[in-house]
Structure 1
Amino acid sequence: MSYNADVEEEVDRGVAAAVVVAKSRINSGCHSRSPVVGLVTPHHHHLQDHEDDYQNHNHHHHLHHDDDDDDVALLPEPVAATAGHQDDIFASCQLASSYGDDVGISWQKAVFLIVNAGLGAGLLNFPKAFHESGGIVSGNLVHIIFTSFALGSLIILVKCANERRCSTYQELVLHMCNPGWNVVASLCISVYCFITCITFIIIIGDQFDRVFASFVGKGFCHTWYFNRKFTMTVSSLLLIFPCCFKRIDGLRFMSYVGVLSILYLVAVIVGEFYTGSYNKGPVIFFDVHWTQIFDVVPTICFGYQCHVSSIPIYSCLKEHNASSSFIKACVAAIVVCFLVYTVSANYGYLTFGSLVKGDVLLSYDARKMQVLIAVILLAIKSWTTYPILMFCVREAVGDLYIQLRSLSPVEAARTESLRRKLIALTLWGTSMLIAVFTPNINIVVKLLGSLAAIFIFVFPGICLLQLVLISIEVNGSKGTLSEICLLFVASAYIIVGIFAFGLAFTLGVQHIIHPDTVHPLCK
């Protein structure tokens, strides 16, 4: 029995990609919406021809079963990409989901997941970033512009994910670009999410230190059970570790707590402006060199980076018209994030002026009960956000492992559960160890902002560019006015993303070479 070698290779690649898609959906616990599989996206006008040929051929097989075994065994990749036949591929890999069609979340619940992923440690850096960017006017102006870009890129990702039926960010890059870009995306996601997980553990340790310093005294860390290494380890083991294996839609209840915690923190920042009596430096409204105005960009990119987790959240929607529903969720989430960041940045900066610290919460008196509660809630917020990023980095590392080991579809399916648990355990343990011996998060915020710029601008721009080019090729035209406008928008995203990445990376390196002086609470 002989086979065409080229077709065999396409089948293997198509099935391998199907395993990755199916694995992602099972891990997220979300129902499948007929994903397109295959490393090469078929053009629409070719797709129907292949599907008709396959259906006619399959009918012929039922009439002459004994004569056509060889031909039916070969399923061309474009046919595998169709919704009508992809279920057989998934069944052959034994990756069927055990969840029913009613599994999923509403778009209102998705808002909490997106907001919880976006709001985080970046909020603490906004007041200082406004000062460094030249004051109130310039800081707010750049904030508005880049927030608009962040919302636009979310909509682009939703449209592309809906077009290709993807469930993770790196899977979308695979379908819209090529396997090489998929590896780059997986590496960037792994590095970004892993380092951000470390910062959350550090934030938890910092908040414990402030609580103990307020009630025990400055020498608290000499008592072993008050020492940050002990408190970070125990809290990470008890609060974070059990959540590292959850499905992403199972984290929505923790997101409610995380969002309410941030809202309380903003209320404290506003309240302290009117009731507190703090030393205040000069407040700048607009006094900036044109290059200085962009110093706020890394903080904005870091603060609005919810794009990596947005696609897994999108795949969990249960609405029939998921694309339009998720766009409503994205708009609502970005509006909430914008209001929270704007209020905290302006009130925090107006309270302390040039004396504001890189972590604005450190500028307040933790002996006040309302501030102390905010400190505790910030630790809780970090606990609720860590699992969302752990899910993303777990999936990215798993995909990289499958590619580097060149695992067959059957091997990948057989070892999926064990591999997922081992990756989560390893990542959690490593992030905790690094956090214990890392003194402060300000060193990495700007470097993380450079990677965030890639997720917010560069990859969405590339995906939109590919989507438009494919549409032009399928229609066989030179492009309509709307398509030309979309090409311009895609190019603008790529250019702005490269600029933001270079700027954030340069500022991050400068910050490492000339770090801010940090005085530990316990010497």
Structure 2
Amino acid sequence: MEELARESISLLARSASHSDPPRLGSFGAVFIMLKSALGAGLLNFPWAFQKAGGVTTAVSVELVSLVFLISGLVILGYASSVSRQKTYQDVVREVCGRAIGQLCEVCFCFNLFMICVAFLVVVQDQLEKCESTLHERWMPYHWYTDQRFALFVMCLIIILPLSIPKEIGIQKYTSVLGTLAATYLCVAVIVKYYLMDSHMAILTLGSWASMFSVVPTICFGFQCHEACIAIYSSMENQKLTHWVVISVISMLFCLLIYTLTGVYGFMTFVIPKFEHLHILRGWGIGSFESRCRALLTVIWITITLLIAMFVPDMGEVISVIGGISAFFIFIFPGLCLVFIMQNEPVSPRVRVVLTVWGIITIVVGAFIFGQSTTIAVMELLDKF
């Protein structure tokens, strides 16, 4: 779903880069922000609530994280207005310098790559459940009913044809399915809980370490920051106060969906069983460039498909993506704020306060990245 939303965002950015007048209204901005944020992370929130030690602890972590999430969106909108750039990478390069801009581009590509892996892991998980039902009720196991083969076929006949074209505007229609799917999942989990014969008590376990360990999941779930600058640049009303309202509304709606799914999923599935729930610029339509784009797309999908097939644990993928998300939500916005305050004509008191907040944001992001990456590496080493 995030991938589909990014196509809409790229169309907005491309329109802005051609100096077209912005036409995006408030409703459209909120809708695209939601499409970019709501996605595969939704499936991991019940697990995150269990790992955090219960509903109260998990919601507290969400609310604290929400302050930094909204702050990052506001900072990025402000940085875009100051630098007059219309994409995340261009803003970071213009404000923070070429070296940090190049680091941003590397992180951006890696983050998108891992998000592709995460989506394929989710698809394979659903195909595995379909395969199990198929074998139990209708037919024995065959190589062509294996979920890995089904995932390969899906990539070949659905994902690849939608990814190769330079302009894939049809995705702006299919992306509606993503928002409906997120809403359906939330409603289904709530209904499932109230249809249960007995309702279990909420556990309250965990530690400070377990609380921090779920922050990457929250970052991944709420991440729409790499898209927000293109959205802001395409809005009709680009006043910073209006952007603050858009950011707050979007994050609060995401908080509602994620919290309801996390709470009821935790009480429905986790407590009774204690189980985990399991770039390039567009090229012209020339023969050589077209073939190169097709080749790169095939390579990209092939590599992500292979990784998804042999890394079936969604938690492992989320931990990696959540760590990288810290760059886009905390570190790069904090750097932008610190650099901007060096030249902005503001009062000394405001400059000091905002610079300190930028430094705090950078430190928090560095901690989240280091902690989540360390845990991911340690868990990987334990398996070997």
TM-score where L is the length of structure 2:
0.85
Q: What secondary structure sits across from 2:214 in the alignment?
A: helix
1:420: how far off? Answer: 5.2
Matches of 2:221 and 2:340 in 1, distance apart?
28
Contact residue 221 and residue 228 of structure 1 kept, 8 A: no
Residue among 307, 310, 328 paired with 1:434: 307
Measured against aligned partners, the alpha-carbon deviations of 1:94-135 in whole angstroms (never above 9, x if no partner) come to xxx4xx836754332232222122122222222222222222
Call closer, same or farther: CA 1:442–1:293 in 2, change over 3 Å.
Answer: closer
Contact residue 124 and residue 358 of structure 1 kept, 8 A: no
Contact residue 121 and residue 311 of structure 2 kept, 8 A: yes
Call closer, same or farther: CA 1:493–1:218 in 2, change over 3 Å.
Answer: farther
Q: Which residue of 1 aligns with 2:52?
A: 133
More helix by share: 2
Residue among 212, 229, 236 paired with 1:319: 236
Q: How does 1:282-297 map to 2 (within 5 A)?
A: 283-285=202-204, 287-297=205-215
Call closer, same or farther: CA 1:226–1:268 in 2, change over 3 Å.
Answer: same
Contact residue 112 and residue 259 of structure 1 kept, 8 A: no
- Aligned pair 1:235/2:158, yes or no? no
Matches of 2:14 and 2:20 in 1, distance apart?
11
Residue among 361, 377, 382 paired with 1:509: 377
1:442: how far off? Answer: 2.3
Matches of 2:71 and 2:213 in 1, distance apart?
22
Contact residue 25 and residue 235 of structure 2 kept, 8 A: yes
Matches of 2:317 and 2:151 in 1, distance apart?
19
- Aligned pair 1:116/2:35, yes or no? yes
Matches of 2:312 and 2:138 in 1, distance apart?
17
1:218: how far off? Answer: 8.2
- Aligned pair 1:496/2:364, yes or no? yes
Q: Which residue of 2 aligns with 1:391?
A: none
1:485: how far off? Answer: 1.5
Q: Which residue of 2 aligns with 1:336?
A: 253
Q: What secondary structure sits across from 1:321 in the alignment?
A: coil
Q: What secondary structure sits across from 2:338 in the alignment?
A: helix
Q: Which residue of 2 aligns with 1:310?
A: 228
Q: Which residue identity lines up with residue 201 of structure 1 in the other structure?
A: L
Q: How does 1:369-388 map to 2 (within 5 A)?
A: none
1:275: how far off? Answer: 0.3
Runs of 5+ unmatched residues, structure 1: 1-23, 33-96, 363-393, 400-414, 516-523
Q: What secondary structure sits across from 1:163 in the alignment?
A: helix
Measured against aligned partners, the alpha-carbon deviations of 1:368-410 in whole angstroms (never above 9, x if no partner) come to xxxxxxxxxxxxxxxxxxxxxxxxxx13xx69xxxxxxxxxxx
Measured against aligned partners, the alpha-carbon deviations of 1:25-68 in whole angstroms (never above 9, x if no partner) come to 88943133xxxxxxxxxxxxxxxxxxxxxxxxxxxxxxxxxxxx
Q: Which residue identity lines up with residue 97 of structure 2 in the other structure?
A: N
Q: Which residue of 2 aligns with 1:262?
A: 182
Which of 1 and 2 has higher RCO (CA within 8 Å, sep 6+)? 2
Matches of 1:331 and 1:253 in 2, distance apart?
26
Matches of 1:103 and 1:418 in 2, distance apart?
33
Contact residue 25 and residue 237 of structure 2 kept, 8 A: no
Contact residue 323 and residue 368 of structure 2 kept, 8 A: yes
Residue among 270, 275, 299 paired with 2:217: 299
Q: Which residue of 1 aligns with 2:191?
A: 271
Matches of 1:311 and 1:25 in 2, distance apart?
11
1:501: how far off? Answer: 1.1
Residue among 141, 146, 151 paired with 1:222: 141
Matches of 1:178 and 1:353 in 2, distance apart?
49
Contact residue 40 and residue 221 of structure 2 kept, 8 A: yes
**Higher alpha-carbon deviation: 349-358 or 195-204:** 349-358
Q: What secondary structure sits across from 1:166 in the alignment?
A: coil
Specify the structure having the higher radius of gyration (Cα). 1
Measured against aligned partners, the alpha-carbon deviations of 1:468-488 in whole angstroms (never above 9, x if no partner) come to 1121xxx4x8x4322221112
Contact residue 314 and residue 322 of structure 1 kept, 8 A: no
TM-score where L is the length of structure 1:
0.64
Call closer, same or farther: CA 1:107–1:230 in 2, change over 3 Å.
Answer: farther
Q: What secondary structure sits across from 2:323 in the alignment?
A: helix
Q: Which residue identity lines up with residue 194 of structure 1 in the other structure?
A: F
Q: Which residue identity lines up with residue 451 of structure 1 in the other structure?
A: I
Contact residue 464 and residue 486 of structure 1 kept, 8 A: yes
Call closer, same or farther: CA 1:504–1:273 in 2, change over 3 Å.
Answer: same
Q: How does 1:432-471 map to 2 (within 5 A)?
A: 432-471=305-344
Call closer, same or farther: CA 1:302–1:145 in 2, change over 3 Å.
Answer: same
Matches of 2:145 and 2:178 in 1, distance apart?
25
Contact residue 104 and residue 318 of structure 1 kept, 8 A: yes
Contact residue 443 and residue 508 of structure 1 kept, 8 A: yes
Q: What secondary structure sits across from 1:29 in the alignment?
A: helix
1:458: how far off? Answer: 0.7
Residue among 6, 11, 14 paired with 1:29: 14
| % identical aligned pairs | 29
Contact residue 22 and residue 236 of structure 2 kept, 8 A: no
Contact residue 25 and residue 31 of structure 1 kept, 8 A: no
1:454: how far off? Answer: 1.5
Measured against aligned partners, the alpha-carbon deviations of 1:166-222 in whole angstroms (never above 9, x if no partner) come to 232222211111111122111111112101101211211211221232244289783
Q: Which residue of 2 aligns with 1:14?
A: none
Q: Which residue of 1 aligns with 2:130?
A: 211
Q: Which residue identity lines up with residue 330 of structure 1 in the other structure?
A: S
